[in-house]
A and B are shown apart, each in its own frame.
Chain A
């Protein structure tokens, strides 16, 4: 059994209430942090833990906290990013629904470490039940003296607010989130300045993912070094993976980083293999934005090593043969899934969610969607495939925020690894609308993999 730090007590009845949460050792970290530690020591402990942001980019959390500007007389904010809207990712929602106090506990410790007296949890608008759950939990915590004025008699004041968004994926981008939180249109800001210097209302701000903040709790309880013992290399600790798609047991799993991909997919402790006795064709390992990989490249890296569920191992091989851990939105595709259709579907999402500020993303996402739609429905041309690659390159890296990249990568990688299937859609247009391409050679042992121009 892998160690569980966040979901250890998830099955305890009533763990969503303060009372049961306290019985299981909840809010110990608040007492420890506020009474025995200085803010600097907490930041130091998080640095030692090696915790990396769980929101997608994997930026070391301790370092981010260390960068926060601390000018005299200016408020500082901690903002929790609960906008979770990436297709395939649903771990934050799970955590907030079943064990909301873990997030609130982390928010208190984090706010204390950063010197924030007002902190926000920004949730996407569709998460109405979670908003109620969190507000109830905040009220409980406040009644028990963990929030409000003079927390636990230490003289530290903190108000915590839940702010629902309007339900836009782009408001998960940290600067768009801040704009939205300020009540404006959720357009990403042009950086610099970074939020650590000028964030919410122009004040220094840290934006962290729900899971990153919750992970601070075990780090403070057991110490950063203890946390860093779990995992491999620079991927320390545990990570929530929301597994979906054609798996026997889809769901949210807490894994120790460094678990082999093989074990994650096939062991009964986790996903339990592919549903209905089928074969795995492809995997999106970290949410829709990361490059898709065929079966053979997912379990083994290009040089034949077993691939691990860790930041480094998943990105081994760069974009040519690797992918990314992203936000942990794991999607499995069996032999009956159509990659062209899936790519079109993802692109449809990015087209719908682009904020429309910068021209390559605004126009390019729509263009890609239309071309993919045509391919999927049997009206495509051979030249469309290279056109898609070219358009994705014109978007990638040329936009204000990473949504442009996130829209370009799934298309570029699908064509890189599944070009045969795209070509088959052009050469067999009517067949392509009635049956799927199938598994083909995508699960064959590696050396057979042909190199296609990307």
Chain B
């Protein structure tokens, strides 16, 4: 048996390694047929299966057993079989179910985007725009929680949480100790440290990056600026933490570094987790070696103010290499 499996998603065929999930096969194809994923995170073992936004229809199980699967399946947790045929955006059922899931996710969400630091880079916001209804059918009070500080660097705004469990997995797998988890059940569930304990270890800041919404935010960046007014720049430093390689994205406003995050790919997943020193304590340009402006999809609002060749960022202006890269990117991203 070959260890390559052929799978067809919305009519596009791709060959992938055995054991690949439908979602990752779709990501290899790319484009519109990639199901949205709110809880799956490729770097976190056991993640996925919870939010149900990535539901797809398997219209043919495999070459050997062509029967379709009876229910829609979570593409992030279903592995491909050879000859499998999957329908995502070509299936009306999937589109309908996804609309339902988005509605559910937004049901108790405060929709306080105007005052939320995540706005502009929030996956729920994107999802809502793309698949949601214009108006909610929910006519009851929404669930609310008090904001809590998880130590002096991280703030938890539970009201916005979609219970994707990513931060729990991160704390479990990336940090040495997990100090928070999910308490209670059903729609009373909440992310908490139970006795308002501060979350404190070298990698705890990563929960901010994995959070798809504005539930976990960086207190050092809080209310400083809207992300679309800031300019992301790739940079690195020689970090002495054994598990951190110091590769980050710096978010500039004028000459000031106002936020440091890990580098994220087009699905919002970090390339490598970074330590808290890099994230919270190194906010001088002199701490870093600048590489290049971060590539931002021209669909993102973050790109809206950036590649303004007339007024390049001060740090770019003084660096010929960055100047060139900036111009290139500006041209590429404005061609369409």
Contacts and interface: CB of A to CB of B under 8 A. Distances in A.
Contacts of B187: 351, 354, 356, 362-363, 365-366
A360 B104 contact: yes
Interface string B274-307: 0000000000000000000000000000000000
Interface stretch (A123-131, A226-234, A298-306, A394-402): A394-402
B50 A400 contact: yes
B194 interface: no
A66 B101 CA distance: 37
Interface in A358-405: 358-360, 362-367, 370, 387, 393-394, 397-400
Interface in B4-52: 48-52
A393 B71 CA distance: 13
18 contacts: A170-B185, A185-B181, A185-B182, A190-B49, A190-B74, A356-B182, A356-B184, A356-B189, A359-B51, A359-B53, A359-B162, A362-B163, A363-B105, A364-B104, A394-B97, A394-B101, A398-B101, A399-B52
Contact of B52 (A355, A356, A359, A365): A359
A354 B187 CA distance: 8
Given A360-B104, A398-B55, A400-B49, 6 more contacts: A351-B187, A354-B187, A358-B50, A359-B51, A366-B108, A367-B104
A365 B186 contact: yes
A351 B140 CA distance: 15
Given A360-B104, A394-B103, A398-B101, A168 B52 contact: no
A357 interface: yes
Interface string A344-360: 00000001111111111
Closest 6 CB pairs of A and B: A394-B100, A356-B189, A354-B186, A190-B49, A363-B104, A363-B107
A398 B186 contact: no
Contacts of A185: 181-182
Interface residues on A, range: 20 to 34
Nearest to B141: A370
Contacts of A355: 185-186
Contacts of B108: 363, 366
B101 A359 contact: yes
Nearest to A190: B49
A357 B46 CA distance: 13
A86 B100 CA distance: 27
B140 A370 contact: yes
A194 to B, nearest CB: 14
A394 B163 contact: no
Contacts of B105: 359, 363
Nearest to A396: B71
A93 to B, nearest CB: 23
Contacts of A393: 100
A356 B71 contact: no
B163 A356 contact: yes
Given A362-B163, A370-B140, A387-B137, A356 B104 contact: no
A359 B97 contact: no
A367 B138 contact: yes
Contacts of B137: 387
B188 interface: yes
Contact of A397 (B71, B104, B107, B138): B71
B77 interface: yes
